[in-house]
Chain A
Amino acid sequence: MTQAATVDARPTRRASRITPVSIFLWGLRIAALAVILYGSYLSISSGRLTASQWRDLLVFGVSTGSVYSLIALGYTMVYGVLRFINFAHGEVFMIGAMMAFYVANALATTSLWVDNPIVSLLIVLVTAMVTSTAVAVTIERIAYRPLRGAPRLIPLITSIGASFTIQYLVRGLVGPSTKAFPRMEPLRGTFEFGGFVILRSQVVVIVAALVMMLLLYLFVEKTRTGKSMRAVSEDAETAALMGIDVDRTIVKVFAVGGAMAGVAGALWGLVFPSLNFFSGFLPGIKAFTSAVLGGIGNIVGAMLGGVSLGIFESVGPSLVLAGYEIPAFSQLKDVVAYSALVLVLIFRPTGILGERLAQERG
């Protein structure tokens, strides 16, 4: 193959010209690095947190980040193929979580919940997956398919509209009140190994996320459907010429993304057991940020980006901001998250692992 298998879209090399802008950006990079390192030094040396507490923060970040990763997978796959941000994906996640909530509550009244928690959990997971998949596919059919080929702004706006529509439909249907997930006794408490103390629910989340991501990776790399997805994402026209049904493949992309979001929704309920119609909005934005952070279009990138973002959020304020004695620094964790995005994109404009996108068509 003369063409690289992965289309790593690096920007054309302008670095040979030293422009004011490039000087400024370099200055920004250096300044950012200095601020972060100095702040970290101050925080760590002040001894405010013990080593195990730092470890805890790290683990919290990884578990939240795993959930972000799962949602990010949907964003990254859709973007890789269709090149637009599917704003409604956060709502797909929220619907999965809602379904998980109702099923879990129903199951909690039966003995199955206590007797066989694994089966209960699986039921919850599967129903959440199915619901999310259905919703994702429906949105694609109604709102996105007719707009295939429109200028990129149009499907973006449509997805914003779809996001609002779903949020407020759910609000109307189930009400604005906060829903509380039932507790699952085996998930309470902690695991201990080698001095590490980690919450059981977080272990479940991290493991489940890893398993799903591994399955997805294998699916995309090894199966035929996966191959056709990669083909369509690389060059849709040629794929069509090769006999791949592009429409159906795209539907499958949405379906798989939706399924991942559904799992994320169910897992969310385990870790953060309260939920309302608006709960998908912020994770959606964070997840897309993760996808960009890791390199959009890149599945491994989405996983990495999600976990990184989770860690930045969790550890960032305590590490960087606390050193400068900023009052109420925990309030600024979103600032850290978004700033991390800006900085990563300044340092490495295509994300940590680089992009994997369809070729530009004019």
Chain B
Amino acid sequence: MSQVVDAPVPVDVELRPTPPIEMRRAVRLGLSGGAAMVLVAATGIVATFQPRMVIDPIVPLGTMFLYLVAFAFGWMASQPPRTLEGFAPAVVGKRNVMAGALAGLLAGLCVGTLLILMTVFDLRGVFIELSPSLVEILSLGFPVGAAVVVIAVISAAAGALGAGVHLLPIRFRRSLMSALIWVAFFSLLTDLFGQLFVGLNVDFVIDLIYTSRGGALTVVGAVVVLVLFFALYWYLGGRENTLRERVQSMPKDRRVRWQIGAAAVILVVLYFIPRLMGPFVSQILVTAGIYLLMALGLNIVVGYAGLLDLGYVAFFAVGAYAGAILTSPQSPALSPELTLVVAIPFVMLAAAIAGIVVATPVIRMRGDYLAIVTLGFGEIARILLNSEWLAPYFGGAQGITNIPDLQVGPLTFSTPEDYFYPVFLFVLLAAYITLAVQNSRWGRAWMAMREDESVAEAMGVNIVTAKLSAFVVGAVLASFGGALFGSQIGSVFPHSFDIVVSITILVIIIVGGMGSVPGVTLGALVLIVLPNLLREFSEFQFLFYGVLLIAMMLKRPEGFIPSKRRAQELHSEELAQDAWLEIYGEKGQAEVVPEGRA
């Protein structure tokens, strides 16, 4: 291996200046942003969001969201390019702000054009949302001509602000952005926080920062939240080491004590969450928990074993129906009326059989075929459960109702608050299995199979057993979710088990971070809890899902909290470049490179 570097003597290489950002790019982004803003308006997002006040009484959500798009595109337009090797770091200054403003301006002009078109033509025959009330919202009360100018100016300002973010020093920027996100949480999740404060018996906080319980954030409230969290993040950002590093560096016994303390705190919080949050939020958490349970199961099938199963909902359905049949007195054919605890082993058995039934025909199939075939199986399951043919066993379209509550010995779990605990228990079980599997022989066999099937087989991995076992484990975990789901809602209907569930679970693990338990947890929280708490968003829920998916895949495909290995895999090129830069120093200084290390 020849050495890459010739000169062993450190030399101060003259750096070339990074070229300034291109205005042409800003123009392109401005027009794209304009298209995005027009779509946001024309699909009715603005009109639906408008009634909600972000900050009472000045900032309605609809208009704010619209100009947020301009802000975002201004941010993108003014983003300084990456510092390449041999170049000086980019200069961030007025030009960036101009680029941002330009992008914003163009976007605003697109909206202005839409406004003009709306007032001249009546387009409601095709685009139903382009109504006079939308005109009113967009024009902000001004007559059309003036409104176009106003919109353009505000968009430009928003774009400039977006650009301005790049100019801020890092610590300030991070603190500000985090604080703003918290303001958004406080203003949108009013139910949640209201419930929390009431539960903690600090009702006065509600009066302080909100207009009323369940109302909107006031200006005072927004400022308070902003300042508080800004200070918090500023303080945290200033510390040298992160919390994790400090914990790792502790001596062993201190660390163990610290971890036990943390676990105790978590448990105490856990005990209180359902009590504090009330039935509605507990219900949402239970739903999220069930999805999380299934996501962990799918994580094993897709993340570890590399088998893209798009019909995972079939196992969910098997668990739900098995639980229903075994426990409900309403079950049409078989009605042993067991308690769920006794029925669980049979549910697991049913799931295992289902897993084998699904896995066996697809053993020899390649990745993408596997996907479409499993999707087919998912649909087949739903159709069969709904069919008149099997109605004598499964209840058909009328489903199976009257599923009794969970009973463990003397305890009965009936309300959502009650169900929180068993669901959490099962989630822990699933997490345990996930971690245990990761470094076990099975796990390694799966991962080898995922990487390259032929090589794995050559290394002695029995592909058939590996695939079967992956499906079975995934199926059993999903069946737990199904049984709990049926028990909690009290009835099972076929239309709850459609393909959207499979895809949602897949999105959770991808967006959250495949292979990492905290990632999947975060994914479940974001994708299940948020839409349920933000009612206005529920109409556009899948639109945001779609955009989120695309954005995540383009920018951060490893997910929010990825497992380290996965992040490394996906960013291998960038990591290689960073490694290269490390060897040769930031300023292009050629360092002494020992022989043999290339």
**Interface on A for B, CB 8 Å cutoff?**
11-12, 19-21, 24-25, 28, 79, 83-85, 102, 142-143, 146-147, 150-158, 160-169, 171-175, 285, 288-289, 292, 296, 326-329, 331-332, 334-335, 337-339, 341-342, 345-346, 349
- Residues 124-145 of chain B, each 1 if its beta carbon lies under 8 Å from chain A, else 0: 0011110000000000000000
Assembled-state Cα–Cα distance A143/B127 (Å): 25
**Closest residue on chain B to residue A346 by CB atoms:** B361
- The 7 A-B residue pairs whose C-beta atoms are closest, nearest first, are A172-B43, A161-B549, A164-B546, A165-B546, A338-B376, A168-B543, A328-B388
Contact of B376 among A21, A151, A174, A341 (CB under 8 A): A341
Q: Which residues of B have CB within 8 Å of A332?
A: 383-384, 387, 389
A285, B375: Cβ atoms closer than 8 Å: yes
B570, A158: Cβ atoms closer than 8 Å: no
Shortest beta-carbon distance from B458 to chain A in Å: 11
B545, A161: Cβ atoms closer than 8 Å: yes
B553, A338: Cβ atoms closer than 8 Å: no
* In the complex, B579 has a CB within 8 A of chain A: no
13 pairs, CB–CB < 8 Å, chain A vs chain B: A11-B364, A25-B360, A147-B553, A153-B302, A157-B506, A158-B553, A160-B503, A164-B549, A169-B43, A328-B389, A331-B388, A335-B383, A339-B376
Q: Which residues of B have CB within 8 Å of A25?
A: 360-361, 364
**Closest residue on chain B to residue A28 by CB atoms:** B361
Contact of B546 among A151, A162, A288, A338 (CB under 8 A): A162
Shortest beta-carbon distance from B469 to chain A in Å: 14
Of the listed residues A79, A142, A346, the one surrounded by the most CB atoms of chain B closer than 10 A to its CB is A346
Interface residues of B in 542-573 (CB under 8 A from A): 542-543, 545-550, 553-554, 557, 569-570
Interface size on B, residues (CB 8 A): 53
**Interface on B for A, CB 8 Å cutoff?**
39, 42-45, 126-129, 302, 308, 360-361, 363-365, 367-369, 371-373, 375-377, 379-380, 383-384, 386-389, 454, 464, 503, 506-507, 510, 540, 542-543, 545-550, 553-554, 557, 569-570
**Closest residue on chain A to residue B375 by CB atoms:** A285
Shortest beta-carbon distance from A135 to chain B in Å: 13
A158, B554: Cβ atoms closer than 8 Å: yes
Contact of A292 among B44, B369, B553, B554 (CB under 8 A): B369
Contacts known (A158-B549, A332-B389); A172 close to B129, Cβ less than 8 A: yes
A164, B361: Cβ atoms closer than 8 Å: no
Assembled-state Cα–Cα distance A158/B380 (Å): 25
Contact of A331 among B127, B379, B387, B503 (CB under 8 A): B387
A84, B548: Cβ atoms closer than 8 Å: no
**Closest residue on chain A to residue B500 by CB atoms:** A164
Assembled-state Cα–Cα distance A12/B457 (Å): 13
Q: Which residues of B have CB within 8 Å of A166?
A: 546
Q: Which residues of B have CB within 8 Å of A19?
A: 464
Q: Which residues of B have CB within 8 Å of A152?
A: 367-368
Contacts known (A150-B570, A328-B389, A335-B384); A165 close to B543, Cβ less than 8 A: yes
Shortest beta-carbon distance from A98 to chain B in Å: 10
Q: Which residues of A have CB within 8 Å of B386?
A: 331
A342, B360: Cβ atoms closer than 8 Å: no
Shortest beta-carbon distance from A56 to chain B in Å: 24
Contacts known (A146-B554, A161-B547, A161-B548); A167 close to B372, Cβ less than 8 A: no
Contact of A143 among B361, B363, B550 (CB under 8 A): B550
**Closest residue on chain B to residue A321 by CB atoms:** B389
Q: Which residues of B have CB within 8 Å of A174?
A: 126-128
B369, A21: Cβ atoms closer than 8 Å: no
B553, A157: Cβ atoms closer than 8 Å: yes
**Closest residue on chain A to residue B45 by CB atoms:** A172
Q: Which residues of B have CB within 8 Å of A160?
A: 503, 506-507, 546, 549
A85, B361: Cβ atoms closer than 8 Å: no
Shortest beta-carbon distance from B119 to chain A in Å: 19
Shortest beta-carbon distance from B50 to chain A in Å: 15
Of the listed residues B371, B372, B557, the one surrounded by the most CB atoms of chain A closer than 10 A to its CB is B372
Assembled-state Cα–Cα distance A166/B506 (Å): 19
Contacts known (A151-B569, A172-B540, A345-B369); A24 close to B360, Cβ less than 8 A: yes
Assembled-state Cα–Cα distance A143/B373 (Å): 25
A150, B557: Cβ atoms closer than 8 Å: yes
Shortest beta-carbon distance from B312 to chain A in Å: 14
Q: Assuming A12-B454, A164-B549, what are 11 further A-B pairs, CB within 8 angstroms?
A: A143-B554, A147-B554, A152-B367, A156-B368, A158-B550, A169-B543, A173-B43, A173-B128, A174-B126, A334-B379, A334-B383
Shortest beta-carbon distance from B401 to chain A in Å: 21
Assembled-state Cα–Cα distance A83/B569 (Å): 20
Shortest beta-carbon distance from B209 to chain A in Å: 33
Assembled-state Cα–Cα distance A24/B361 (Å): 9
A85, B372: Cβ atoms closer than 8 Å: yes
Assembled-state Cα–Cα distance A19/B361 (Å): 14
**Closest residue on chain B to residue A324 by CB atoms:** B389
Shortest beta-carbon distance from A276 to chain B in Å: 13
Contacts known (A172-B129, A174-B128); A289 close to B389, Cβ less than 8 A: no
Contact of A164 among B364, B389, B510, B543 (CB under 8 A): B543
Contacts known (A11-B364, A12-B454); A331 close to B547, Cβ less than 8 A: no
Assembled-state Cα–Cα distance A142/B39 (Å): 16
B546, A168: Cβ atoms closer than 8 Å: yes
Q: Which residues of B have CB within 8 Å of A338?
A: 373, 376-377, 379-380
Shortest beta-carbon distance from A358 to chain B in Å: 13
Shortest beta-carbon distance from A274 to chain B in Å: 17
Assembled-state Cα–Cα distance A345/B506 (Å): 24
Assembled-state Cα–Cα distance A24/B548 (Å): 43
Q: Which residues of B have CB within 8 Å of A151?
A: 569-570
A153, B387: Cβ atoms closer than 8 Å: no
Q: Which residues of B have CB within 8 Å of A341?
A: 372-373, 376
Shortest beta-carbon distance from A32 to chain B in Å: 10
Contacts known (A21-B360, A173-B43, A335-B380); A163 close to B546, Cβ less than 8 A: yes
**Closest residue on chain B to residue A333 by CB atoms:** B383
Shortest beta-carbon distance from A180 to chain B in Å: 14
Assembled-state Cα–Cα distance A146/B380 (Å): 35
Shortest beta-carbon distance from B298 to chain A in Å: 13
Shortest beta-carbon distance from A308 to chain B in Å: 15
B380, A339: Cβ atoms closer than 8 Å: yes
Of the listed residues A19, A153, A289, the one surrounded by the most CB atoms of chain B closer than 10 A to its CB is A153
**Closest residue on chain A to residue B573 by CB atoms:** A149
**Closest residue on chain B to residue A155 by CB atoms:** B553
Assembled-state Cα–Cα distance A157/B548 (Å): 11
Assembled-state Cα–Cα distance A331/B506 (Å): 28
Contacts known (A285-B375, A289-B372); A175 close to B128, Cβ less than 8 A: yes
Q: Which residues of A have CB within 8 Å of B127?
A: 173-174
Assembled-state Cα–Cα distance A163/B550 (Å): 10
A289, B553: Cβ atoms closer than 8 Å: no
Q: Which residues of B have CB within 8 Å of A79?
A: 368
Q: Which residues of A have CB within 8 Å of B39?
A: 169, 172-173
**Closest residue on chain A to residue B43 by CB atoms:** A172
Assembled-state Cα–Cα distance A21/B377 (Å): 20
Shortest beta-carbon distance from A362 to chain B in Å: 9
**Closest residue on chain B to residue A289 by CB atoms:** B372
Q: Which residues of B have CB within 8 Å of A84?
A: 368
Shortest beta-carbon distance from A194 to chain B in Å: 38
Shortest beta-carbon distance from A170 to chain B in Å: 9
A172, B543: Cβ atoms closer than 8 Å: yes
A154, B387: Cβ atoms closer than 8 Å: no
Assembled-state Cα–Cα distance A84/B383 (Å): 27
Q: Which residues of A have CB within 8 Å of B380?
A: 334-335, 338-339
Shortest beta-carbon distance from A142 to chain B in Å: 8
A349, B365: Cβ atoms closer than 8 Å: yes
Contact of A342 among B302, B373, B543, B549 (CB under 8 A): B373
B546, A345: Cβ atoms closer than 8 Å: no
B554, A172: Cβ atoms closer than 8 Å: no
**Closest residue on chain A to residue B503 by CB atoms:** A160
**Closest residue on chain A to residue B382 by CB atoms:** A334
B376, A342: Cβ atoms closer than 8 Å: yes
Assembled-state Cα–Cα distance A249/B59 (Å): 48
Q: Which residues of B have CB within 8 Å of A156?
A: 308, 368, 371
